[in-house]
Amino acid sequence: MLKYETSQMPPSKRYIAIRNVTLVGVVGNILLTIVKLVFGIIGHSQALIADGLHSLSDLISDGVVLIAAKYSTLDADANHPYGHARIETLATVAVGGLLLLVAGGMLIDATRRLFDPALLWHPTAWSLAVAGLSILVKEALYQYTIYVAKRVRSQMLRANAWHHRSDAISSVMVLVGVAGSMAGVQWLDAVAAIGVSLMIAQIGGSLGWGGVSELVDTGLDSLQLAEIKKIIQSVDGVRTLHELRSRKMGANALVDVHILVNPRISVSEGHQIGEMVRTRLIDKIDEIADVFVHIDPENDEDYRPNLKLPLRNEITTRLQQHWQSLEAGRAIEQITLHYLAGRLTIDIYLSLKVVQNLKEAQALSRRFAELAADEPGIHAINVYYH
């Protein structure tokens, strides 16, 4: 079994990039939370207050991202041999869950007010102005955050970017709701608040489900797997492949695969083929960071190993008892064992110096072959001269 690891970006640089963009978001969310809540109360807009709570959830998610970004980039250790990338996944689930909680609270309150006209608020121009400002600020934060998320390939940061985008969209709903209420449609502000809550719930559910899928080792999608298969099959020496498995680990993907090679090639050639498979996958698919390649000499989907067959020390000890009667037995230079199709075949390599002519070589080969008949578990003995 071969194990390979790589890192697409130095963890320290990745952490700094995530930290910097998140700190910008923290500052923006602090200001927006205060402004929305204060002017939502002053301007009598339930939708703007709901939007302020949305910004507050953004602020909390920023804190989660900062903590997760720091600890998810820690090096692998004895307790975490694959690293700490799943901390980032867990943070994504937490952000999604937070959005669902915020959406639920907002939906309950807005629905209650919608069905009780006495509880409806009457927004003012202050609410309208703050909603417009929020749209501009949050869209700018989204564009900046999604840019960095793509550059460092962080699902956690991508989730936070969509948190900013959801706040911008919710502010659009607030703008429409406040404008409608000011125009005389008093219930439109409450309807806007309900729309904001439903939108937040949809985004939270999507993010949370994606994170949970990663935590339970959901594999890559069919298109990605098809590309991986195509790359592996392009490597010279790979006859076929099977047991292709994948899973996500934070920003990266882990892949392990069994490849079938010629059963008569050397161990080093099989290793070289596996190395080429690993290299091409990592070079051509940025997401892949760790590859396990298992080399099979035959298709083991239908193969069942014969564990009764002897290993090298046992078989050579047994055969040496027979070779004592053969002078050529002491001139054996190499023995190769082939465990194929549930049977053991032995290749013996001798120098041509032990035989004088072809007839002697054929006779000696027959005598070695006769040994196979006397030893249970040995299918055949092949003799090669060089």
What are the pLDDT digits (tens) for 323-371?
666 666 667 788 888 888 888 888 888 877 777 778 878 887 888 777 7
Is residue 2 helix, strand or coil?
strand
Superfamily of structural domain 9-215: Cation efflux protein transmembrane domain (1.20.1510.10)
Same fold for the domain at 9-215 and the one at 312-385? no
User: Whole-prediction pTM value?
Assistant: 0.61
Residue 367: name the closest of 335, 334, 319, 316 by CA: 319
CATH number given to 312-385? 3.30.300.170
8 Å CB contact between 131 and 179: no
The string of pLDDT tens digits covering residues 268-283 is 999 999 999 999 999 8
Residue count of the chain, please give it: 386
Q: How many helices (H) and strands (E) does the chain have?
A: 10, 7
Domain locations in the chain as residue ranges:
9-215, 222-296, 312-385
Determine the pLDDT at residue 289.
Answer: 81
Q: Which two tokens stand for residue 369?
A: 């072959």
**CATH topology for the 222-296 domain:** Alpha-Beta Plaits (3.30.70)
